[in-house]
Amino acid sequence: MFSIENNNIVALVAAAKEGFAKAYAPYSQFQVGAAALTATGKIVQGCNVENASYGLTVCAERNCLAQGVISGEQAFSAIVIYTNQDKLTPPCGACRQVIAEFLAPEALVMAVNHNNDTKQWTVNQLLPDAFMPKDLLEK
């Protein structure tokens, strides 16, 4: 796993909590915040945004990484997901695929909750043998 300085982890958790507070989850009441550290050292954040047509809901992790891309970043070294659930919440399958697109296989993915419990994975642990851009080029 890539080494992330403790002060960066603290800042990522704080940013993920801020994202959590902005979540739009009127249907499920399941708020999620996320924050990612870019390869250039910036922190971007996101939150889940629900929709009355449930399939159109966008997760915090994907919104977070999209915010980074919008700001000109395409490489990230870590992502933190924050919820107020007692059980730590890993990224869903769609988010795992998007995370694998933008973070290295050994990059940090961390779940944090309101009790400050944490669980850490690498991208590769969450999505081994991910479908990647190179798979589009190989014949």
Tens digits of per-residue pLDDT, 79-130? 999 999 999 999 999 999 999 999 999 999 999 999 999 999 999 999 999 9
CATH fold of 6-137 reads: Cytidine Deaminase; domain 2 (3.40.140)
Residue 3 above 80 pLDDT? Answer: no
- 121: which strand partners? 109
Catalytic residue among 50, 61, 101, 106: 61
Is the pLDDT at 72 greater than 80? The verdict is yes
- CA-to-CA distance for 14 and 9, rounded, in angstroms? 9
Question: pLDDT tier at 8 (50, 70, 90 boundaries)?
Answer: very high
pLDDT at 51: 97
Check residue 139 and give its pLDDT: 65
Smallest CA-to-CA distance from 62 within 25, 27, 103, 28 is with 103
**Is 57's pLDDT higher than 70?**
yes
pTM of the model: 0.94
Q: What is the 3-state secondary structure (H, E, C) of the chain?
A: CCCCCHHHHHHHHHHHHHHHHHCECCCCCCCCEEEEEECCCCEEEEECECCCCHHHCECHHHHHHHHHHHCCCCCEEEEEEEECCCCCCCCCHHHHHHHHHHEEEEEEEEEEECCCCEEEEEHHHHCCCCCCHHHHHCC
> Which of 127, 30, 131 minimizes the C-alpha distance to 85?
30
Distance, C-alpha 20 to centroid of its chain: 12
pLDDT at residue 60 tops 80 = yes
pLDDT in tens, 23-45: 999 999 999 999 999 999 999 99
Residue predicted with more confidence, 24 or 5? 24
Domain ranges of the chain: 6-137
Catalytic residue flag (residue 61): yes
Provide the pLDDT for residue 1.
58
On the question of pLDDT at 137 being above 90, the answer is no
Are the beta carbons of 52 and 78 closer than 8 angstroms? no
